[in-house]
Structure 1
């Protein structure tokens, strides 16, 4: 007999998984088997056509490690080559009005670009029948979209049914929905279909969280707040940031502020907007839920420690196979006197950071990589308040793909053609002046205003300035430079902010708006208190009142690699201390 070939433990694991799967399928009922076979035949074609990503189609098996992975439509090589050619053309600087976006043109209400809703179900259905019904429905949903729109017209949107199932569960089990929006791209993250589903179909309250307000000018924050309030009458809007003015607290040093975020340092304890969110929730629930424990948690550090000791064994519950004991048709809210708050939104808008800011310490892992949260999980803030974190979901829309990449919806490390997003950014903000770039093919007899830049020129100039060189040929590494510029845009160091319609005409009005002045005062208050709390006088913590919670000693998992830290090591001298001002000096 020939000698057996050795194989790894990983292969042995896959063998056992396949064996269990075959055994499970053989014991199913005949009806269930027919439904699975029908759904499998239908879904296999749709997976090859619609869900084929970089690593091939995703299996539907529960044991698949990529079950919750983000799945987008794979672009053709012809489309990638076409965009590369366009990136070599000279850029044209656009006026501020080009940043104004109409939300109705992005989502087109009433069209097939709608929210996929969970098909009707009850407990008499078996698990196999329910999954087969959902697969058939989702297949029809995606096919209807691709029949009307071509992949070039559509933006990236989620094609993984498992991720949509997580949203359905959170919508069913939550009493109040928190829709988190990045203040830089609120039109991109605000789905009218989701608003209509929550307020009209489910009859629940929705709160819009304008997150990361420290990354946008205060007048623009207030303009977006008023615009969304007028367009969506049934929403409540709260301004929030997990890191209020971290850069200003560090004297304008962006790199130092970023490292401070990585090592913790009580960043979660200074989240701005907790009191406003509590007030809005109190107005919604009235006397149906006792929220005094939430108030006590914010006011007193000692009460926070006591509550955490009491719920230490049940602070994180739920998981990928937990339906939250939801019963279809049961519209009773605030069951057992507990308020359930669901956090939904696009990837990288700060859902997990918001939960950490509300709790006052790190309880949910966070990362700049989209899709870091795989399945929903529930966290008890107090005995009567339960938070539910949902994975990030990308809704179908007609937004530009370059804008989605800049917003961090698509993983930057997997972008095949990063030059178009760099050109999109450079046409709307003066990247050349902010980074003090010199044209790689500059001729001395031309004035600076007469030099034409392309996306490739900007990437080459940045590669030469930062020393990004390819290993083999010793040429400027344009891909690495473009990747680095996109990450700077994602972090807010190259700040691109969209505007509501008519903002440029009424800019002076928003500058003097009373809410703008109040927001500036609030951010200044956090800056002053951050400086005090970092001093040697520990007794000054009492002056912060409800703004100070318990500090966590664990490091903050931002998901950054050593290579990214090395690339960002000296970027502070290339970027302005104020993210909305331009550099005046040329420092190589």
Structure 2
């Protein structure tokens, strides 16, 4: 479904002539005050066949479809030698990514009342969303824009979560927090909704402690009204004994126990915000039980409710003495894993594939604390698309040209040295320059990736495998705030750095049980690149460990 079809569905749009430049199959154009505006086609991620009375693609991720011209251009670029970039290339400024005050905002739900019919509310939302897209594509070229969510249904899920939450948890991946922090969302929650926002720097075991502290200081200085919490969570081997007999356990999905570092920080932030209006003692007892190893108590969770088309009641702060925390953020930042970590066991499904969570659902952590897991949603920005792929926002199985992201990675970290590969064309007398394609070719040879028919090196599969290693944190590329590397020594001596080191040390005992050599990643993940639908096993969660040490050793 193209942008034209989308706009016609959500509002009236005057048709314009199609461009005659050889790209008419990929681009539509409309006339806007005499200017030609090119808009991309919309590509639903892993679409499914329509069923009678139900649209399974309703909550699918929808991104722009790239043209064949762009894909072929990047393939040629990936075959050219690349040149390593200085450390400062990893430094980013939030203002350059989101351009606060520009049209790269967020679509805000139009004013509505409970007396309005559902059809009228949705009609208003559709017209607003069509105008929102029109402003963006009128102001920016498609090639300059990032991938961002074009499915109105997913935005509606975000609106619902924001409306029903007392505290909004904005979860970011510590490796790329700047691209996961939309200032428009911050302004909307703080100024428009007048609610509290907690920034969760998640997966802190995947970054040097000094960088964690630098990002925490950066956000605290730029956005003084937020609370910041460091967090990480991952499944632990074994299962939780919940008191049921063996036959019952075999007949349902097994709940694995989860290890989390940071719940006490989150509890302290919520206590500061609630100021005694909500009884959080039971939540504190749950955290203490988990720290003591009393898993049966720590993993006790109340009912879980799916809210796909539920009717929301009128919002009241801390209604009935209950705290509702909404988890929002981009795909693959760890929203579902954070909830599992707080609960002490698996209560919501998590996956490496972006878009796995289709609609929001509520989970009662205690009788007075309710969590709300929402779908991952990508905000419009000017971040490089290759960085988006490496950060896990875009499903790797759907990447049509995976070599350029590998080159982006190789320019910023010593990828050849880390992978310990030899150039395919190297001999005793020459040392040829590396290209992104050469890296994938050499990695395919080392891993034994061969095509089924011709038995040639499967370069595409090798590229996909490298991207998955990057998303899983086994090849860590950490972006940093501007000026970090010039003052790296100061940040390493910062008092907060020792605090983060202690938090990371709490994970060492569990991390030692995991395979430290990233070259032995499971074959199941490698095979996923050959599946056209990009689906994964729900239990195939990303197990994080302290992998940034690999780069330090190099």
Q: TM-score w.r.t. structure 2 length?
A: 0.82
Which residue number corresponds to residue 12 of structure 2?
A: 42
The 3-state SS of whatever aligns with 2:72 is helix
Larger radius of gyration: 1
The 3-state SS of whatever aligns with 2:434 is coil
Following TM superposition, by how much is the alpha carbon of 1:87 offset from its aligned partner in structure 2, in angstroms?
Answer: 0.9
> RMSD across aligned C-alpha pairs, in angstroms?
3.3
Which residue number corresponds to residue 487 of structure 1?
A: 468
Q: Is the 8 A contact 1:408 1:490 kept in 2?
A: yes
- Alignment deviations for residues 317-343 of structure 1 (CA, whole Å, 9 cap, x no partner): 241112431x3xx5x310111000000
Q: Does 1:321 align with 2:285?
A: no
Following TM superposition, by how much is the alpha carbon of 1:419 offset from its aligned partner in structure 2, in angstroms?
Answer: 0.6
The 3-state SS of whatever aligns with 1:346 is coil
Which residue number corresponds to residue 331 of structure 2?
A: 347
Out of 40, 46, 53, which is 2:43 matched to?
Answer: 53
- Alignment deviations for residues 365-413 of structure 1 (CA, whole Å, 9 cap, x no partner): 0000000000000000001000001100000000000000001100000
Out of 289, 292, 308, which is 2:278 matched to?
Answer: 289
Following TM superposition, by how much is the alpha carbon of 1:580 offset from its aligned partner in structure 2, in angstroms?
Answer: 2.3
Which residue number corresponds to residue 551 of structure 2?
A: 580
Following TM superposition, by how much is the alpha carbon of 1:44 offset from its aligned partner in structure 2, in angstroms?
Answer: 11
Following TM superposition, by how much is the alpha carbon of 1:493 offset from its aligned partner in structure 2, in angstroms?
Answer: 1.1
Out of 373, 383, 403, which is 1:389 matched to?
Answer: 373
Which residue number corresponds to residue 410 of structure 1?
A: 394
Q: Does 1:434 align with 2:434?
A: no
Give the distance between the partners of 1:279 and 1:419, measured in 2 at CA: 44
Q: Is the 8 A contact 2:255 2:347 kept in 1?
A: no
Q: Is the 8 A contact 2:444 2:459 kept in 1?
A: yes
Which residue number corresponds to residue 241 of structure 1?
A: 232
The 3-state SS of whatever aligns with 2:552 is coil
Unaligned runs of at least 5 residues, structure 1: 1-35, 247-261, 533-557, 567-574, 584-588
Instruction: Classify 1:462/1:64 alpha carbon distance in 2 versus 1 (closer, same or farther; 3 Å).
Output: same
Which residue number corresponds to residue 476 of structure 1?
A: 457
Give the distance between the partners of 2:70 and 2:204, measured in 1 at CA: 36
Instruction: Classify 1:56/1:390 alpha carbon distance in 2 versus 1 (closer, same or farther; 3 Å).
Output: closer
Following TM superposition, by how much is the alpha carbon of 1:287 offset from its aligned partner in structure 2, in angstroms?
Answer: 1.3
Give the distance between the partners of 1:40 and 1:220, measured in 2 at CA: 44
Which residue number corresponds to residue 563 of structure 1?
A: 527
Out of 455, 460, 478, which is 1:497 matched to?
Answer: 478
The 3-state SS of whatever aligns with 2:169 is strand
5 Å-filtered alignment, 1:123-202, equals 123-202=114-193
Instruction: Classify 1:374/1:576 alpha carbon distance in 2 versus 1 (closer, same or farther; 3 Å).
Output: closer
- Alignment deviations for residues 289-310 of structure 1 (CA, whole Å, 9 cap, x no partner): 111111111223699857987x
The 3-state SS of whatever aligns with 1:200 is helix
Q: Does 1:218 align with 2:209?
A: yes
Give the distance between the partners of 1:335 and 1:452, measured in 2 at CA: 63
Give the distance between the partners of 1:290 and 1:576, measured in 2 at CA: 38
Out of 434, 439, 444, which is 1:458 matched to?
Answer: 439
The 3-state SS of whatever aligns with 1:294 is helix
Q: Is the 8 A contact 1:50 1:159 kept in 2?
A: no
Instruction: Classify 1:85/1:307 alpha carbon distance in 2 versus 1 (closer, same or farther; 3 Å).
Output: closer
Following TM superposition, by how much is the alpha carbon of 1:133 offset from its aligned partner in structure 2, in angstroms?
Answer: 1.3
Q: Is the 8 A contact 2:11 2:130 kept in 1?
A: no
Following TM superposition, by how much is the alpha carbon of 1:125 offset from its aligned partner in structure 2, in angstroms?
Answer: 1.7
Q: TM-score w.r.t. structure 1 length?
A: 0.77
Give the distance between the partners of 2:490 and 2:115, measured in 1 at CA: 59
Unaligned runs of at least 5 residues, structure 2: 1-5, 17-26, 29-38, 238-252, 514-521, 531-545
Which residue number corresponds to residue 354 of structure 2?
A: 370
Which residue number corresponds to residue 34 of structure 2?
A: none
Q: Which has the higher strand share?
A: 2
Which residue number corresponds to residue 77 of structure 1?
A: 68
The 3-state SS of whatever aligns with 2:551 is coil
Following TM superposition, by how much is the alpha carbon of 1:523 offset from its aligned partner in structure 2, in angstroms?
Answer: 2.0
The 3-state SS of whatever aligns with 1:580 is helix
Instruction: Classify 1:110/1:63 alpha carbon distance in 2 versus 1 (closer, same or farther; 3 Å).
Output: same
Which residue number corresponds to residue 267 of structure 2?
A: 278
Give the distance between the partners of 1:197 and 1:487, measured in 2 at CA: 34
Moved more, 375-384 or 299-308: 299-308
Give the distance between the partners of 2:549 and 2:288, measured in 1 at CA: 32
Q: Is the 8 A contact 1:227 1:500 kept in 2?
A: yes
Q: Is the 8 A contact 2:461 2:526 kept in 1?
A: no
